[in-house]
Amino acid sequence: MPTFKDYYTVQLHDTDAAGILFFANQLKIVHNVYESMLTKAGFGFQDRFRKRDFFIPIVHAETDFYHPLKDGDTVEIILEIEKVGTTSFTLSYKLTIFDETVVGSAKTVHVTIDPESGKKIPLPGKFKEKLQELACND
């Protein structure tokens, strides 16, 4: 199954008063990987904002935490395109540390909208093709 992989080292500013990853920062980390994947696929955000042909906001996000992360921990994040629909797509993320311990997971659902009206639109052809190419092909 095709995946997109990236790494992130937890910084001091990512942690809370207890010295562990602040819960909201797990979403920030996976969003960084999402942005990297889009850029590599040729659909980076700067291009979206410049062209204004379609936007792809997140309409649902969920995360699970299985093991605390601390300042200095390097995390491997694996992004998989779980589902490609007519107007939306779902991404799943698995976060692991060096010994392959799964420390967290996340899922995000994205929908394509028209930037002017804010209304949902079908996934544009080339974008949908790229997602399907990268998606699970079971």
Q: How far is CA 69 from CA 34, 64, 73, in A?
A: 20, 13, 6
Asked if residues 5 and 76 have their Cβ atoms less than 8 Å apart, the reply is yes
Instruction: Identify whether 138 is a catalytic site residue.
Output: no
Q: Which residues pair with 107 in a beta bridge?
A: 62, 92
Q: Phi and psi dihedrals of 21, rounded to 5?
A: -55, 125
Question: Rounded to an integer, what distance in angstroms lies between the CA atom of residue 2 and that of residue 55?
Answer: 24
Pick the catalytic residue: 16, 47, 64, 114?
Answer: 16
Active site residues: 16
